[in-house]
Structure 1
């Protein structure tokens, strides 16, 4: 932003009278203040606009248990933990492919300006508000306890692979999903992108579904 502002100032100074340069400097200060305000309000989303998106697909993945078992024991910080727990409570009974698909939705939301810009922010959005949470396990009144360590290890490997750059090619940019046992109202207007296991996936762009 500063480089762009300086370049504009240099060009305009060629044709501006001296008093106009003072007005431009004032405008430049306003632009810089606006940039700082945007960065403070939404630093993650602003950086997404300024930084090229990381190339997807750098990590080769096979959606089967043998490939998953061959991966290193999963470790990570808070964002990895939030993703692993979401997969455990939302999709531990799904196939490996289904677990990767749910992880795609969460990371697609992180990339969308419509949602929080961190994994933990996405997973916990609306938590504590009746009928407002985005992931049911965060507001169903039950303690979030891991009772199946083997299942948690598997989803932890899925979470690690996704955060390390595994491709998101299963759900065509989906930002929503639901089980085949329910039919939420939003599913009537969102674009259905895939059905994997017991989940149907949707993209929030209001396109007419062909499925």
Structure 2
């Protein structure tokens, strides 16, 4: 498949996903933030993309807690980092594995989702990312942090982008530390 047809197929999936509703229950009575999803498939003229409900839940929760105050572009950038990690050999091979990796994300995994509208928006971003949206915002970043902090690890990696309130870094090109 040519690059332009592949890109067109991904864009078609993203458009289809953006305009299709997802059934959700934002917070259960037991205080957990488990979300019920319909199993979704996105169809294009080229292919059908099946999205794992567990991956969708983990990615949507991570976006909600890490980037809900960002615009769509900032949320897409955080989703890119998570999916770039899934594809990178030094990180877990699943979205939930990456999101739940000890010490990597700052949100409390037991926190409740309180803003239902915001959560619905990040679900759409998560679904589009999992359906194969192009990852062109962060230039391959596998790390990010809020611009309001300055973590020591940031000096070791190549900065690739600043989007909204976050700065993004690529870990495959370590900088000299003299």
Please report the TM-score for the alignment, with normalisation by the length of structure 1: 0.62
Superposed CA RMSD in Å reads 2.5
Give yes or no for the alignment of 1:86 onto 2:34. Answer: no
Distance 1:114 1:70 in 2: 31
Count of residues paired in the alignment: 142
1:136-167 C-alpha deviation (Å, 9 max, x unpaired): 1146xxx3201000000000000000100100
Q: Unpaired runs of 5+ in structure 2? A: 1-5, 23-36, 40-52
* Correspondence for 2:9: 58
Give yes or no for the alignment of 1:162 onto 2:129. Answer: yes
Contact 1:56/1:165 (8 A) holds in 2: no
* Correspondence for 2:166: 199
- How far the C-alpha of 1:56 sits from its partner, in A, is 6.4
Higher-strand-fraction structure: 2
Pick the aligned partner of 2:150 from 170, 183, 205. 183
Give yes or no for the alignment of 1:135 onto 2:102. Answer: no
Give yes or no for the alignment of 1:73 onto 2:45. Answer: no
Contact 1:59/1:167 (8 A) holds in 2: yes
Distance 2:18 2:101 in 1: 33
- How far the C-alpha of 1:186 sits from its partner, in A, is 1.2
Question: Which structure has more RCO (C-alpha within 8 Å, separation ≥ 6)?
Answer: 2
Distance 1:56 1:134 in 2: 31
1:55-99 C-alpha deviation (Å, 9 max, x unpaired): 6673228xxxxx799521234511100000000000011010000
- How far the C-alpha of 1:205 sits from its partner, in A, is 2.1
Please report the TM-score for the alignment, with normalisation by the length of structure 2: 0.73
| Structural mapping, 1:6-21, within 5 Å | none
Higher-helix-fraction structure: 1
| Structural mapping, 1:108-127, within 5 Å | 108-126=84-102
Contact 1:92/1:99 (8 A) holds in 2: yes
Distance 1:88 1:164 in 2: 18
Q: Unpaired runs of 5+ in structure 1? A: 1-54, 62-66, 127-132
* Correspondence for 1:172: 139
> Structure 1 residues 57, 136: CA separation in 2 closer, same or farther (over 3 Å shift)?
farther
* Correspondence for 2:81: 105
